[in-house]
Amino acid sequence: MRIGVFVCHCGSNIEGTVDTAAVAKATLEFPEVVYATDTMYACSEPGQDGIIQAIKEKNLTGVVVASCTPRMHEPTFRKAVERAGLNRFMFEMANIREHVSWIGKNREANTNKSLDLVRIAVEKLRRDAPLIPSKFSVNKRVMIIGGGVAGIQAALDCADGGLQVVLVERESTIGGKMAKLDKTFPTVDCSSCILGPKMVDVAQHPNITLHAYSEVDSIGGYVGNFQVKVKKKATYVDWELCTGCGACIEKCPSKKNPDAFNEKIGPCTSINIPFPQAIPKKAYIDATTCRQFVKGKCGVCAKVCPTGAIRYDMTDEIVTEDVGAIVAATGYDLFDIKKIPEYGSGTYPDVITGLQYERLLSASGPTGGHIKRPSDGKEPKNIVFIQCVGSRDKSLDRPYCSGFCCMYTAKQTILTKDHIPDSQSYVFYMDIRSPGKMYDEFTRRAMEEYGARYIRGRVAMVYPKGDKLMVRGADTLAGTQVEIEADLVVLAAGAEAAKGAPQLAEKLRISYDKYGFFMESHPKLKPVETNTAGVYLAGSCQGPKDIPQSVGQGSAAAAKVLALFSKDMLESDPQISRVDIKRCVGCGKCIMTCPFKAIKEVEFRGQKKAEVIETVCQGCGICTSTCPQGAIQLSHFTDNQILAEVNALCQS
């Protein structure tokens, strides 16, 4: 092998504490190294041209670049090597920036360590062999999990781009949290007026198949060829026949169930359509409250249904959808305000969440759009809003900012003034976070034009006094304790990962953080990608987001899917595990440990053997350390290569 070594200055990032010229010179002593040089910016165009030129002039067959992390520029250099006519896997990288120059100041020690890292890379490269990726076809259907505004946007953009879309929604209607909102900031336009048309588009789009009241059961396969089992939960109503007329809802005798769509501040019937604009506008029966199921007799809905759609014997059904990509858009849930007992939620009915307040404001809500407090139905005059309830609180293990509460609280003070002109809103805040177009202007308008009284400080306790709630807190700007006699207390409950998010992440084989939010591939440069090929993210499942951000991510995820599907064939990464069939004893340990289900059992001349499914293997290497025979080896990370690297390090 004829190896070339290129030691990068990275401006002063590396050269500042590493003598790159000395490193380059010393590497010429290493076996099979025939060319070495230092270079200003190896990743720049002249830098890459230098590598290509050296490969051609010196007839190099392998290249080592000592520079930054391979996460940064490995693809760059692989492409450069390929342009010069080499196999792109005949390339190794030594990370002398993150692992050396950025963490140490001693130039001599850094230079020595850099040399060691290059030595290791050279020993690895000497044992590399050219790898050829295999190609496989792509199923150009996409599944969107979650029918909130992010999922709706992703579904519509994909469908408009000509893809077949399968949209899976847990509830009986799409719309998500946005469907529950009255108005939206900072324009104060009606939420259902802007979301409604999009929901109708989903229902009518010829390319979209909607599975409402359904959940993802299991996911198999890999990018381009996923098999998703979707559990269609029993609605006990034949949706083919249901016309959404509402006759059943009118006659249902079980009327006092907490209405989940109205955030449990209003009652609903056991057979129900959550709201008038529901998509699909189909009834479903909640079997936990329905008299037919609980007491075994009733059957009123079956009698009144004009189309005979009621099916008490319906069971859950599993359908399998084959798709090439998946977008997770499962949204968020609210922090449980009962976890802060001093605010009195759960004890006093007039302490409610911001989302419950949205339902009180909404014309389609339980009060018909009149603000009436839950306890006695009176119109409140003094309303206290408390921000950061379950946000920015380490003691509650919620250290993050939920992002949109400052804005919706400001909006709610404005709407309150519009609904009840002689009301007074008070807002306890820690900081006002309004970084968006026309956002800060909006919060200022709440204070300046609508007279909301903002108090910088926290609330210590809420306690009853007559028919009022006393709110005791601090005004740190005035440097004093304050109290307010409130008629209604609205808590800006923080955003949490949606219930069941970690379990879904495990099915999708994507990472999630300690709070259950899904991990993006790169926090800045790959915000809607995940580390699992073919799985993308949109909206609040990745972290709290407001509507514009969620819509933006929905479109972004759709663009990623469309780009993926623009190719008919995909290339798999050839750096995967391979089984040496002569050594394999068919013990099956690798099959058990593989987190990607990428190894299957095969019969070979009457003997059990393991076989790696090339397109599924992600090259993690768990099987190689499990195999008692050393029969399964990860290409370019073989036991021999690792031993050679250790030897190089120990013998230097």
Partner 1 sequence: MNIINLTRDHDEDFVHRVEEESGQKVSLCYQCGNCTAGCPYTFAYDIPVSQIMRLVQMGQKKTVLSSKSIWLCATCESCTTRCPNNIDVACIMDVLRHMARREGLAAVPQVKTFWDSFLDSVRAHGRVFEMGLLINYVTKTGRFWTDMDLGPKILPKGKLALKPHDIQGKEHVARIFERFDRESNS
The H or E element spanning position 494 is: none
Among positions 275, 357, 408, 426, the unique one binding partner 1 when judged by CB under 8 A: 426
Q: Does residue 483 interact with partner 1 by CB under 8 A? A: yes
Strand order across the beta sheet in which 317-323 lies: 214-222, 225-232, 317-323
Contact region with partner 1 (CB under 8 A), list: 57-65, 169-177, 370-378, 482-490: 482-490
Q: What token pair was written down for 590?
A: 């690798």
- Tokens 């990068």 correspond to 8
Q: Does residue 260 interact with partner 1 by CB under 8 A? A: no
Count of chain residues binding partner 1 (CB under 8 A): 22
Q: Which C-beta is closer to partner 1: that of 311 or that of 444?
A: 444
Nearest partner of 598 among 581, 584, 582, 615, judged by Cα: 615
Q: Which C-beta is closer to partner 1: that of 412 or that of 530?
A: 412
Contact region with partner 1 (CB under 8 A), list: 327-335, 478-486, 498-506, 560-568: 478-486
- The SS3 call for residue 316 is coil
Give 117-173 as a 3 state SS string.
HHHHHHHHHHCCCCCCCCEEECCCEEEEECCCHHHHHHHHHHHHCCCEEEEECCCCC
Nearest partner of 295 among 333, 254, 350, judged by Cα: 254
Q: Which C-beta is closer to partner 1: that of 160 or that of 440?
A: 440
Instruction: Compute CA distances 464 → 162, 373, 461, whole Å.
Output: 59, 14, 10
Burial per residue of 445-481, b for 16 or more beta-carbon CB atoms within 10 angstroms, e otherwise: bbbeeeebebbebebeebeeeeebbebebbeeeeeee
The site map against partner 1 for 486-515 (x = CB under 8 A) is x-----------------------------
Q: Which C-beta is closer to partner 1: that of 364 or that of 382?
A: 382
* Closest distance of CB 387 from partner 1, Å: 16
CB 23 within 8 A of CB 30: no
Per DSSP, the residues of 324-365 read SEEEE---EEE--GGG-GGGTTTTSTTEEEHHHHHHHHSTTS
DSSP secondary-structure letter at 540? G
Q: Which C-beta is closer to partner 1: that of 482 or that of 620?
A: 482
Q: Which C-beta is closer to partner 1: that of 482 or that of 559?
A: 482
Contact region with partner 1 (CB under 8 A), list: 156-164, 171-179, 240-248, 471-479: 471-479
Q: Does residue 453 interact with partner 1 by CB under 8 A? A: yes
Q: Give the number of other CB atoms < 10 A from CB of residue 270.
A: 27
Among positions 82, 116, 475, 573, the unique one binding partner 1 when judged by CB under 8 A: 475
Instruction: Compute CA distances 259 → 286, 365, 492, 529, whole Å.
Output: 11, 10, 20, 36
Among positions 107, 229, 456, 589, the unique one binding partner 1 when judged by CB under 8 A: 456
Q: What token pair was written down for 472?
A: 């005791």
Q: Which C-beta is closer to partner 1: that of 319 or that of 474?
A: 474
* Closest distance of CB 483 from partner 1, Å: 5
* Closest distance of CB 367 from partner 1, Å: 24
What distance in Å separates the CA atoms of residue 139 and residue 34, rounded to the nearest whole number?
Answer: 46
Q: Does residue 379 interact with partner 1 by CB under 8 A? A: no
All residues at 6 or more sequence positions from 10 whose CB lies less than 8 Å from its CB, including other chains: 41, 67, 68, 97, 101
Q: Which C-beta is closer to partner 1: that of 316 or that of 449?
A: 449
**Which 433-452 residues touch partner 1, going by CB under 8 A?**
444, 447-448, 451
Q: Does residue 485 interact with partner 1 by CB under 8 A? A: yes
Residue 244 sits at φ, ψ, to 5 deg, of 70, 25
Q: Which C-beta is closer to partner 1: that of 478 or that of 646?
A: 478
Q: Which C-beta is closer to partner 1: that of 14 or that of 455?
A: 455
Among positions 461, 477, 643, 646, the unique one binding partner 1 when judged by CB under 8 A: 477
Q: Which C-beta is closer to partner 1: that of 179 or that of 388?
A: 388
* Closest distance of CB 403 from partner 1, Å: 20
CB 259 within 8 A of CB 355: no
Q: Does residue 421 interact with partner 1 by CB under 8 A? A: no
The site map against partner 1 for 622-641 (x = CB under 8 A) is --------------------
Among positions 478, 592, 643, 646, the unique one binding partner 1 when judged by CB under 8 A: 478
Q: Give the number of other CB atoms < 10 A from CB of residue 145.
A: 29
Task: Tell me how many helices (H) and strands (E) the chain has.
Answer: 17, 34
* Closest distance of CB 415 from partner 1, Å: 18
* Closest distance of CB 453 from partner 1, Å: 7
Contact region with partner 1 (CB under 8 A), list: 147-155, 473-481, 495-503, 587-595: 473-481
Q: Which C-beta is closer to partner 1: that of 116 or that of 483?
A: 483
**Beta-strand relationship, 164-168 and 208-211:** parallel
Among positions 53, 218, 320, 481, the unique one binding partner 1 when judged by CB under 8 A: 481
CB 494 within 8 A of CB 405: yes
Q: Which C-beta is closer to partner 1: that of 32 or that of 448?
A: 448
* Closest distance of CB 480 from partner 1, Å: 4
* Closest distance of CB 431 from partner 1, Å: 12
Q: Give the number of other CB atoms < 10 A from CB of residue 518.
A: 26
* Closest distance of CB 458 from partner 1, Å: 15
Q: Does residue 431 interact with partner 1 by CB under 8 A? A: no
Q: Does residue 458 interact with partner 1 by CB under 8 A? A: no
First-residue to last-residue Cα distance in the chain: 21
Q: Which C-beta is closer to partner 1: that of 384 or that of 562?
A: 384
Give 211-273 as a 3 state SS string.
ECCEEEEEEEEECCEEEEEEEECCCCECCCCCCCCCHHHHHCCCCCEECCCCCCCCEECCEEC
* Closest distance of CB 479 from partner 1, Å: 7
* Closest distance of CB 485 from partner 1, Å: 4
- What does the CA dihedral 333, 202, 144, 390 come to, rounded to 10 degrees? -10
Among positions 207, 382, 575, 629, the unique one binding partner 1 when judged by CB under 8 A: 382
- The SS3 call for residue 193 is helix
* Closest distance of CB 544 from partner 1, Å: 24
Alpha-carbon radius of gyration of the chain: 31
Q: Does residue 479 interact with partner 1 by CB under 8 A? A: yes
* Closest distance of CB 382 from partner 1, Å: 6
* Closest distance of CB 381 from partner 1, Å: 9
Residues found near partner 1 in the complex (CB under 8 A) = 382, 424, 426, 444, 447-448, 451, 453, 455-456, 472, 475, 477-486
